Amino acid sequence: MTKKVGTMADMGEDLGKIYQTVIDRNPGEPEFHQAVHEVVSTLTPVFERHPHYADQRVLERICEPERQIIFRVPWMNDKNEIEINRAFRVEFNSALGPYKGGLRFHPSVYLGIIKFLGFEQIFKNALTGMPIGGGKGGSDFDPKGRSDAEVMRFCQSFMTELYRHMGEYTDVPAGDIGVGGREIGYLFGQYKRITNRYESGVLTGKGLGWGGSLVRTEATGYGTVFFAREMLTKIGQSFDGARVSVSGSGNVAIYAVQKAQELGAKVVAMSDSGGYIVDEAGIDLDLVREIKEVRRGRISEYVDARSSAHYSTEGSLWDVPVTVALPSATQNELHAQHAATLAKNGCVVVAEGANMPCTPEATTILTEAKVAFGPGKAANAGGVATSALEMQQNAARDNWTFEQTERRLEEIMVDIHEACATTAEDYGDPGNYVLGANIAGFIDVADAMIAHGVI
């Protein structure tokens, strides 16, 4: 929890009261408070321009999830011992379509994390322009060090409860931290077995041979780079020849690096939860993929094969001077001090590949230093947008080519950038992507909710 979150400094009295109610009704969930604060603190001009949003109490309704499911996941490990995890699905808002959002398997998962992610997802999904509502789920299960058989048994037990809440017109999960192609396969298999339905559109991020979409794997990282490219263009710069750092070395990070390199950037640093690597010769992405995707190893192994690189657990990846920083690991990984160092070293664009990786203080420092800042709900929306394209292909029983799908993704990211930029201008704060994203997303959701009546 940060000072800024506690003080309600930048809200009017009415919005401050709404935010205080969220804190009171959701104790012990600082990440959820932080996500709500970030949105509410930008909405004053909307409420001034459109007073009926206050009369309809639409913001209070958005802050209260439509449904929250918490369940037990018992399963047997390889030693034939019983293990018990806790799992969640928060079905936050269905004004624009079925609940849509990923599943996170990580030991840090608890209700507050899932609620922050679900809340962000509402506005992100609205920004994509696709017919998808917002939801998120996951478990405190830690897949690290587990055998494939253990992961399969966990996924089967998890789905044995979750399936009754899902459906292609109800709730459509996908991956997030700790949930990739392997996990989606086991989850889909169990859903199909229990329901006796080959309902392709019920999960996204599926394998290419059984209903998945080309580009979904790459989509979040590619989309973040497309968004950052638009931000750079706006200030007369480009990725060509730019130095870039990308935190994390999972799904989002790997494909952000790939697209940035394709656009001519030199990516010099990546990380995982153990530490970070710096390679002044430029990151060898094939090596990273071999370590992380094939061996499921540690990023430290990179330096064994690259004499130009070093690995560190001291300091931070954000100490490395770069023009563009793409935080793509996890929430609150980029702090005030990191932001100050990035700005001092000449960074001009920070775009969030992860969800809420920058702390509120870091965002303030970047903004004050005139570093363009792209918030996750806009910059990383390419993943869920391509999930919606996967649902579209499933509904039509069709498969699009890589080029066709990537073109759609690129158009969507350009449109989201444009919507954020023009909304920020319209509300008198050009260049403020946080304000633009929050207001543009909020208006779409609020208008649909009002049209649906008091439900």
Q: Does 91 interact with ligand 2IT (rule: CB under 6 A)? A: no
Options 30-38, 91-99, 284-292, 383-391: segment touching ligand 2IT (CB under 6 A): 383-391
Q: Considering the complex, what minimum distance in angstroms separates the CB of residue 354 from ligand 2IT?
A: 9
Give the type of residue at 132.
I
Burial class (CB in 10 A: 0-12, 13-18, 19+), 209: exposed
Neighbouring residues of 206: CB distance < 8 A, sequence distance ≥ 6:
184, 185, 188, 200, 212, 213, 390
Judged by CB under 6 A, the residue of 138, 175, 201, 212 near ligand NDP is 175
Residue closer to ligand NDP (CB basis): 38 or 176: 176
How far apart, in Å, are the Cα atoms of 115 and each of 132, 274, 387, 407? 17, 26, 20, 32
Q: Considering the complex, what minimum distance in angstroms separates the CB of residue 249 from ligand NDP?
A: 4
Q: Considering the complex, what minimum distance in angstroms separates the CB of residue 223 from ligand 2IT?
A: 10
Q: Considering the complex, what minimum distance in angstroms separates the CB of residue 326 from ligand NDP?
A: 10
Q: Considering the complex, what minimum distance in angstroms separates the CB of residue 388 from ligand 2IT?
A: 8
Closest by CA position to 201, among listed 391, 413, 431: 391
Q: Does 137 interact with ligand 2IT (rule: CB under 6 A)? A: no
Buried b (16+ CB within 10 A) or exposed e, 107-120: eebbbbbbbbbbbb
Binding mask 377-396 for ligand NDP (x = CB under 6 A): ---x--x-------------
Residue closer to ligand 2IT (CB basis): 101 or 250: 101
Closest by CA position to 73, among listed 59, 62, 84, 60: 84
Q: Does 328 interact with ligand NDP (rule: CB under 6 A)? A: yes
Count other Cβ atoms within 10 Å, centred on residue 144: 10
Residue closer to ligand 2IT (CB basis): 97 or 102: 102
The reply to whether 292 belongs to the active site is no
Sign of CA dihedral 104, 107, 110, 112: negative
User: What does 101 interact with, of ligand NDP, ligand 2IT, none (CB < 5 to 8 A by kind)?
Assistant: ligand 2IT
Q: Does 330 interact with ligand NDP (rule: CB under 6 A)? A: yes
Binding mask 152-191 for ligand 2IT (x = CB under 6 A): ----------------------x-x---------------
Closest by CA position to 68, among listed 24, 117, 5, 141: 117
Residue closer to ligand 2IT (CB basis): 176 or 183: 176
Q: Does 93 interact with ligand 2IT (rule: CB under 6 A)? A: no
Residue nearest to ligand NDP (CB): 250
Question: Residue 101 phi/psi, 5° resolution?
Answer: 165, 165
Cα Rg of the chain (Å, integer): 21
Q: Considering the complex, what minimum distance in angstroms separates the CB of residue 121 from ligand 2IT?
A: 6
Residue nearest to ligand 2IT (CB): 102
Question: Residue 144 phi/psi, 5° resolution?
Answer: -60, 130
Q: Does 250 interact with ligand NDP (rule: CB under 6 A)? A: yes
Q: Considering the complex, what minimum distance in angstroms separates the CB of residue 430 from ligand 2IT?
A: 27
Mode of pairing for the β-strands spanning 82-93 and 67-76: antiparallel
Using an 8 Å Cβ cutoff, are 430 and 420 in contact? no
* Lateral strand order in the sheet of 82-93: 67-76, 82-93, 133-139, 99-105, 171-174
Catalytic residue positions, numbered? 136
Q: Point out which residues bind ligand 2IT (CB under 6 A).
A: 100-102, 121, 124, 174, 176, 204, 355, 383-384, 387
Q: Point out which residues bind ligand NDP (CB under 6 A).
A: 175-178, 180, 220, 248-253, 272-274, 328-330, 333, 353-355, 380, 383
